[in-house]
Chain A
Amino acid sequence: MSIDAIPDAILELILLRIDSHFCLLDASSTCKRWRRLVADTGFLRQFSSLHGPPCSTWFDITFEPSSAAIPCDLFSLSFLQSIHVAPPDWRIRDSRGTLLLLDRDDGTFYDPVPRDMVRYKRVAPPFTSIFAGYDSLTGHLVDGEAGGGIGLSNFRVVCLLRGPAGHYNNSHYDAGVFTASGSNQQQQPWSLYSMGRSKGFEYWYSGGRKHSRVLVLRPHETTKKECRGKVCLGVTTRRDGVDRIVAFSEDGGSMTVFARVHGGGCEWAAEKSIALSLPWSETSFSWAGYAYIDHIDTARAAAALIVVTKVNLRYRVDIETNEVKVERRLEERAHACELPWPPNLRACTQLLNG
C-alpha cells in the first residue's frame, strides 16, 4: 500500500502530528492533495491548537560598524573622475592613516589609495569569484601584520562575509582577510559568531574547542586574540565603562573575564576568574553545547548573561560581585519575532477547494 491509498482522514491525522511548522509547510508543498488538506482552515486551526504558534525566530544583530574616524561622506572622489581614472560608481568604504579603501558596487576591492596620490590598483578580483557564494557586507582597512602603522605595503582588508549562499542559517558569517603582501593574497574565510556590540565596537569570535579568535571590528581596529580552551565567549561592560570579554571554561565550572591590556590596546589579558556553582556545572555532561552567553543582554552593564538551553533557564552573572541570579525565562526574550501563522496557502488550492 502506498501513502496515496491512505484515506484523507488518516493522512490528516499524520500531518497533524508533524511537530514543526516549517516541516508542515514543506509537506504541504509536495503535491496538490497534501496542500489541499493542509490549507483547510479547520486543519490549520487544529494544528495551531495542538502545536501553538510557530517558534519565534531570533534575529542576530547585523553588523553595523560605528562611523569612521573621518566620515566617508567627507571625502570626495571628484578629483579622480576629473582625470578619468575612476569610474563614478566607486565608493569609499574605509579610511585609515593615509589610505582609502575603495570599492565598486560589484564588490571588487581596490588597493588603498594614498590620499595625496592619484594611484590605485585592484587588490582583489570581484569578490564573488574569490569567496564564491558569499555576500560581502563590509570592508575594513586595518594595519598590516608588520607593525609600524599602515602603509601601501603594510595593510590588511578585513571583510565580513555573509553566506555561503544556501547555508541553512542565513545569519551565518565568515570573515576573510586580504593582505598587502603578495598581489592577491587572502586567507580562507573563518566562521564568525557575534559576541555582541558595545559602544560602537562589534565583537565577533570564531570558535573551536581549542582556540577561539576574537575579532573586534570598528573601522579602525582589529584585534585577534587566541584564547586557549575557551569555547564560549561574550562581551559585556563593567561599571567602569570598559568592555570585558567573558569566556566559559571548558568544564563549565568557571568564567574568565578578559580586559584590554593598558586599557585600550589590541591585546587582551585575563583579569579574573569567577567560579560558577551553577546547577549544571556539577553534572558530568559537557555543557558546552547547552550554555551560551546571551549576545543581546550582555549590553547591559556589569553583567554577563548565561543561558542554559538544556533546562531552559538563564542566569545572570555579575562579573564584579560574582553574584549569580536566575533570570526570566528564555521565551520572554525581547527580540522575538512572530511568524505569519496560520500561513497564507492560496496558490493551487482554489480550484481544488472550489
Chain B
Amino acid sequence: MEVDKGKGEAEETRKVAEADRDTVTLKSSDGKLFEVSKEAAARLSTVLAGMIAGGSIDDNGTDLKQIGSEALENVVDYCNKHANSIPSAALISSSISFNTAPFKEPEEWERKFVDRLSHDALFDLVEAANFLGMERLLDVTCHKISEMMKGKSPDQIREVFNIKNDYTKEELEEIRQELAWAFYDD
C-alpha cells in the first residue's frame, strides 16, 4: 500500500511538473525534436490543444508521425512568430468555421513567412496544418497557393504546379466552348 501511495505521489508530482512547463516537445516523423510554447500550440492547433488537455503530451517528444522535420520546423516557427505578434481582432474571433466565414487576409508577417517557402515546403506545410487542425495556418498557406494561380492561364498554372495535362485536344476544345464567355480572345 505504501509503495503504491508513493508511486501515486510521484505521478502527481510529475504531472504538476508537466503542467508547470510552458513548452511542449514535438517529434517529427524522422525523429527530430522541436519545442514550442504550450500556450501558442494550444491556441493555434485544435489537435495539440486536445492532446495537452487530454494529457497525452509526451515529455520526451510527442510523436507526430505524419509530419516531416522540415514541415514541423515551419509549424513551430509559425507558432513562435505568432506568439510574438500582436493578435489582431480578426484572429481572436476566428472561431467560426473557415468553410463559411469569409477569409481573413494574411497579415504582413504571415505573408513573408509563406513567401520564403519553396513549393514543396509549402505543400508539406499545408498538409501539416491540416493534420494539426491549425485553422489559421491552413488559411494562410491555402491563400498563398491560390495566389500563385492569379492571372495565369491554364497552361501557366500547369507549369507552376507541374500538373500534367490529362485532356485530349478534343476535350480541351469542348471545355473552351463551354466556357467561351470566360475567355478573353473569343
Contact = CB atoms under 8 A, between A and B. Distances in A.
Contacts of B172: 29
Interface string B128-159: 00100000001000110110011111100110
Contacts of A343: 178-179, 182
A18 interface: yes
Contact of A32 (B99, B124, B145, B167): B167
Contacts of A83: none
Contacts of B102: 50
B77 interface: no
Contacts, number: 117
A3 interface: yes
A52 to B, nearest CB: 10
B124 A30 contact: no
A42 to B, nearest CB: 11
Contacts of B103: 17, 50
Interface string B150-186: 1111100110011111110001101111110110110
Contacts of B176: 29
A30 B154 contact: yes
Contact of B157 (A27, A169, A344): A27
A30 B185 contact: no
A170 B185 contact: yes
B126 interface: yes
A73 B165 CA distance: 53
A1 interface: yes
B142 A10 contact: yes
A7 B128 CA distance: 12
Contact of B166 (A3, A31, A168, A170): A31
A324 interface: no
Interface in A234-287: none
B127 A31 contact: no
B: contact size bracket: 35 or more
A3 B162 contact: yes
Contacts of B113: none
A332 interface: no
A251 to B, nearest CB: 32
Given A32-B167, A50-B102, A19 B182 contact: no
B142 A13 contact: yes
A339 B174 CA distance: 20
Interface in B72-120: 98-100, 102-103, 119-120
A35 B167 CA distance: 11
B123 interface: yes
A89 interface: no
Contacts of A17: 103, 142-143, 145-146
Contacts of A22: 182
A34 B145 CA distance: 14
A5 interface: yes
A168 B145 CA distance: 25
A14 B103 CA distance: 11
Given A31-B165, A31-B167, A1 B178 contact: no
21 contacts: A1-B123, A2-B162, A3-B161, A3-B162, A7-B130, A9-B130, A14-B142, A14-B146, A17-B142, A18-B149, A20-B150, A23-B149, A23-B151, A26-B157, A29-B176, A29-B179, A31-B167, A32-B166, A340-B181, A343-B182, A347-B171
Interface of A: 1-7, 9-10, 13-23, 25-27, 29-32, 34-35, 46, 49-50, 165-166, 168-170, 339-340, 343-348
Interface of B: 98-100, 102-103, 119-120, 123-124, 126-127, 130, 138, 142-143, 145-146, 149-154, 157-158, 161-167, 171-172, 174-179, 181-182, 184-185
Given A17-B145, A25-B179, A170-B184, 18 more contacts: A2-B123, A2-B162, A6-B126, A10-B127, A13-B138, A17-B142, A21-B182, A23-B152, A27-B154, A29-B154, A29-B172, A30-B157, A31-B158, A31-B167, A32-B166, A34-B163, A46-B99, A169-B184
